[in-house]
Structure formats: structure tokens, C-alpha cells
Structure 1
């Protein structure tokens, strides 16, 4: 106790004693020395005497503004500096671009170069590069742009998570394609000979294969042959560019032509496949007449288109790919030809003979 009369605090209790034992003529309590004294707690009742930054009440520190903690040793800053700075001795040290007691105000670059005044919320990085608007110090970018200052180009649908955005264009991961990487890619990008539809090539006319690298065949060879480098190799019994026609045995042995599955042999040949010599003809090529083997030799029965097969050019016709001549009254003989004659068949085929 400091400055107090020891019994002063007991005086009110004395007033309730019986009159027989109660002292007489007690002075009023307020007039006694030490009646207004205070009791100061012991130094160890509050930790660290509240660091001289608060007061001790009932053995607990009541800290002054700006301080906290059991002993008031912690510095408090307004608004905890809004997580935009650090608190040192009760004052905010704000991050760059912010100011104020609680770091809630935004600063302007170079303090507006002393040519204007800084209004909180009106300044954004790069003024958003004219690709967005400034809201509370942050850029709200227009469509197609992103970034803190709206300087970056965006990609459609952010490439759908299947690629990366490079300067506004999607670089798709393997297996994906399209402006936004939403499509499945095709092998070899169809080699520019078709289009990619849901991961499969739809080839343009003339090409086929999973990547459109193979040459296609007419009508896919009508399913009667196989396609080899764009040409049909027909199965047995079929012929034609697309294998749609009926074939002939042994392709008529290259001695005639195939018509609806049957061989039409040239004059000197016969048989189902034109492999036999015609009547009265003999020799390895069936080009010698048996009636006069020393004299008559057929010089030309070939699938040619020039007029030199005929004695007179203007009598030459091309009927069914066989050079033929219609009979004429006058014939200019070839010096190398001894004589000429026409068969009676129609069309009439010239047969030239020369000496053996």
C-alpha cells in the first residue's frame, strides 16, 4: 500500500459495531488520512509491466491502441495493412504501388510526374494497353486479351486444355487439332489430299488410305480386284479399268478383244482365248497361209491407227480398234506388194502379200 492509513479501509466496517464497543466521535471517513488512496498491484501481477504500452487491470494488460499481446509487446497496424505491406512498430510499410495508414490506397506512377493528381482506382498497368478498362486498379480485358495489362492475346476456349496458347494461336498436343484443339487430329494431316473429320481422313477423289497417301482406283475396282498404285488388278473373270466388265480367258492371249466376256479374235486366230491359228493359217504367229506357204505372208494385222496399213489412205477406217479397208474400185499398189485381196467378211480386212 502506498500513502494509505492501515485502518482507513476498515473504517466502514467499524460503523457497524455495537454502540457499546464502537468508538465514539469517529470522524467522517472522507476526512481520514488515506481515505482516497489507491492500491497499486505488485510488479509481477502483469507480464513485463505491459511493456509500458498498456495498463494492468486485474492482472491483465489492457494495451494501448496499436499494440497487442499478453504484454502489449506486439505492434498492431490498421487493417493488418490489408495484406499489402508489413507492420513495423505499429505502422504499415506498404508494398510498391500502395500507400496510406493501412495500405489501402493505390499510388500513381511517378506521382503523376507532378502534372496531375492521383485518384485511387484510376491507374492500371499500361492503362490496359487500350484493350480493356480499369476497375479499382485492375484491368478488365476485352475479349481476345488477357494479362495484368491486357497485353497478351488469348486463344479460343483456352485451347480446351489440349495445347498451349502462343501469341493467340493454339499449339495443340499430339492427337488434337483445330483452332481450339477440340478436334481429333488425322494421320499426316491427310497429306493435304483430304479433310479431317473426327480423327479420320475423308480423302479427295483419286486418293485413299488412312492418310490419303494411296492413289484410288475407279469405283474401288468394283470389289472385283485390288488397287495397285491407282490401277485395278482384276480378279479372274473380270476386266476393264474398274473390273466391272466380264473378263475373257487369258485376256484373249493378246490376239483379239474381249466383248462381254467372249473373245473376238483377229483374223488369223481362233479359239476361246484366241490361242489357235485360224483355218489355213500356220506359223508361230499364225501369219503364213497354208495354201501357198512360199508366197503369201500377212504383213499387217496389227492394232495400229496409221494409214500405211492400207494401200490407199482414204479407204482406211478404224472399226473396233482393227484397221480395216472398204473395197474401192482403184487401188494404188505398194511397190513391195505383189498383190492384194480383200476378204468377203464385213468389215473387210486388207491382206497384202509379198514375195518370199
Structure 2
């Protein structure tokens, strides 16, 4: 056996596929801290493959890890969000799309930086101008223009320079009235801002996720919370199903659509969720 804390190392707990080894109820206790990781063990063969490799049926180490996995023996899940492809199979690092940063590529570039993984320094903008997180150029308010937004407009308002429309989030720039037409999921004068929480679509005018999920701007889709499904996460899991994408099956006739806790336990069982998992390696049965 091997401690899960050794498998994780410095990686966040969310990258470990707990449900591959234990019941959902047990995993909830582990993630909440009720059970210390130092007390959680998983089966482990004597053969250890290098990070980025896994053991095949013949006991040989093969690389790279299957898509979506990384680490020693490929035991951890990638957690990239706005990234180019999957994560690095050895250390789980993500190659972020332009305008995004963070371990999981889930943070917008901070002021002063832009581009892939936010490694490039931006121009200095004046008069309320802001940097495009994708290209770094100054996006000027309607009252100013110029490379640094240093020049006041001579007419009532400035026209939009089509080349300043965000290349990653603009559908087309209207040549007649020089307006950036944003792709679904994006908004702003230059299409640089993702829709606010709870909205999606063209002009961010459609409500989404029914407050039961989060909006992914890159794909203009909703990622549902556990226990919900549907394009807008408006539907609870059907009877007998629960959890992420409603992909887990209840261990009893009637269970909670989010956690899988049984509404009524079968005869001889008690607790939030009765334990009857031959493949699991924890025996918690309150």
C-alpha cells in the first residue's frame, strides 16, 4: 500500500482521482479534511514508473501518460481550463492560452502582462486605456486614440480600429461602422471581457447555468455543478443518478442527486450512505 499524501506530493488534492479507489461518500470525507491524507492508502505495486509513465499489462513502463493524466504512474488528473491541449504528463503544468495564467490557466492576465501564460509585458496606457490580455496593445476609451491612448479625439468620438479587436474573441469587425462584433461568450468595446457570471451567448444576453454551474467563455458552454445536467444545468439528475454530470449510480433506491447520500437506507444499514463496495478499500459505515 502507498499513502495518498506521497502520491500527491505538492499537487493539489483535486488532481487525485479519489473515486477510482473509494466510494464518493469516502472521497467527500477525504476532501473535507475529516480523514487526514496521511491515513489514506491505495494499492501499490513494487514496480514504480517515472513521472509521465505508467505500467502496462506486462509490467513495463510506457510513456506518455494517457490524455488527462500525469505524475508518477500517471495517478493524477490534469486540471487545465483555458489551455492548449492537456497538461504536461510529468508535472501537470498547463500551457495556457493567450490571456490566461495560473497553475490551471483559470486566471486572467494581471495588469501589465499579456499573451500565452501572461509572459509578455504590455504597453503603458494613458487616459483610462486598458491592455488587451491577448495582444498587449492599448484599448482606448471612445474619447482617446493613439498607441498609448495619448491623443484626444478631434471629433465627438473615435472610431474603432479593427486591428485592435481581440483576435481570439472577435467574430468580425464591421468595416462600415468599425465596431468589434464579439464571439458568443465575450463582450466589451474590443471583445476582451468574458461574460459575467450567469450569462452567455451573443452580447452576453442569455442567462445560463441556472445558477447550478459556471460559464466557460472559451466554448460558451456551462460546466454543471455536481447533481445537475443539461445545456444550462437546469435539470437535476434523474432518479438513481447523482454526482458529476449525473454519471454516478446510487447505491440505494433513492439518493441525494448531489452527494449520493441515501434518503432511506436498506435494512441492516445506517448512516448517510450505506457501504457495499467490493472494489473499495475503506470500510466506513456509520
| More strand, by proportion | 1
| More helix, by proportion | 1
The normalised TM-score by structure 1 is: 0.21
**Bigger Rg, structure 1 or 2:** 1
The normalised TM-score by structure 2 is: 0.25
